[in-house]
Amino acid sequence: MPPRRRSNPSSTPPPNEAARLTNALIGEGFNRRQIAQILGRNSAVISHFYTRGPGAGGSYVDALLAVVQEVQGGGPRDLDSLQRLAGNYVKRRRTKSGRLARVRAKDAVQFAHDEEWTSGIARAGRQHIASGASRLAPILEAAAQADGVVAFTVRASKGRFLLDSGSGEDSPGVHRGVVQRADGTEERSYGNSTLGPGTGTAGFDAGSWHQRVTEHHGDVAAAITDWMVETGRLAEGARITHVELRAWKPED
């Protein structure tokens, strides 16, 4: 009989999803202490992503993914803004009044819990997009009323994108971090930072996009799809399967 193959005990397993996303933020210039601050936890939690097996940090993946997309999409990079964003995904402790902070549900719309609107995020998947993606509209309307800006991430079949992934022509001024998925789709982020990430207002004017969506009868996904087709980014007839819309009020 041929000898059995022995596994190489020195081989290092690939990082789990939480660790992979943490590494992406480290590559963007953040350290572990800052990432822990964004998540509202201590640095020991970040270390657990690397030491406690493939499922470690699973409850933080959505928050980390949202922050990575925000940073790579040219959005705000200050810790306070990113902490507010991550707070929409991380289960919060009880407040002094005994109330629990809201936790993101699938395809939910979230707003910053401030007296004055400062930021918000909304997601829609394939099923909701097919019915008009109406839940994306309120966040855009709030941003327009606050003279805010928006950016978005879309997912579609990678064969339907017309420009090279990660190219400056596709997303000028945005740090390119294209996410390719096993199902043959690709995620791409779009903002309006002509000077580069972290160098000023890095989003599209919300008022202009609100007008565009109004012309599409409130269908945000349809407005984004048509914009991508019109600008030569997406093939005509292609369908977006997922949309994440981020909006915020730039600091004065």
* Inside any domain, residue 199: yes
How many other C-beta atoms lie within 10 A of the C-beta of residue 193? 22
Indicate if 84 and 139 belong to the same structural domain. Answer: no
107: confidence class by pLDDT, cuts 50, 70, 90: very low
Domain with 29, as residue range(s), is: 15-92
Indicate if 114 and 75 belong to the same structural domain. Answer: no
For 154-175, write each residue's pLDDT tens digit.
Answer: 999 988 999 887 666 776 544 4
Indicate if 212 and 132 belong to the same structural domain. Answer: yes
- What single string gives the DSSP state of each residue in 168-194? TTTSTTS----EE-TTSEEEEEE---S
59: confidence class by pLDDT, cuts 50, 70, 90: confident
Indicate if 226 and 136 belong to the same structural domain. Answer: yes
Indicate if 85 and 151 belong to the same structural domain. Answer: no
Indicate if 140 and 214 belong to the same structural domain. Answer: yes
Q: CA 91, 86, 128, 148 torsion: positive or negative? A: positive
Indicate if 119 and 64 belong to the same structural domain. Answer: no
Indicate if 113 and 230 belong to the same structural domain. Answer: yes
Position 116 scores a pLDDT of 66
Count of domains for the chain: 2
User: In this structure, are residues 64 and 23 in contact, taking their beta carbons and an 8 Å threshold?
Assistant: no
Q: Which of 15-19, 93-97, 170-174, 213-217 has the lowest mean pLDDT?
A: 93-97
Percent with pLDDT over 70 in the chain: 75
pLDDT exceeds 60 at position 90: yes
* Inside any domain, residue 124: yes
Indicate if 196 and 84 belong to the same structural domain. Answer: no
Average pLDDT, the chain: 78
Strands 119-124 and 109-111: antiparallel
Distance CA(46)–CA(91), nearest Å, equals: 16
Indicate if 175 and 82 belong to the same structural domain. Answer: no
For 169-205, write each residue's pLDDT tens digit.
Answer: 776 544 445 666 777 888 888 887 554 444 444 688 9
For 29-47, write each residue's pLDDT tens digit.
Answer: 999 889 988 998 877 788 8
Tokens of 183: 């199902």
pLDDT exceeds 90 at position 209: yes
Position 111 scores a pLDDT of 43
Percent with pLDDT over 90 in the chain: 21
H-helix or E-strand containing 246?
strand 240-248
H helices of 60-115, in order, are 61-72, 79-87
Indicate if 243 and 145 belong to the same structural domain. Answer: yes
Nearest CA among 213, 212, 168, 157 for reference residue 190: 168
Indicate yes or no: pTM above 0.75.
no
pLDDT exceeds 90 at position 106: no
* Inside any domain, residue 114: yes
Who wins on pLDDT, 128 or 155? 155
Alpha-carbon separation of residue 107 from 89, 103, 104, 134, 173 (angstroms): 12, 12, 8, 11, 28
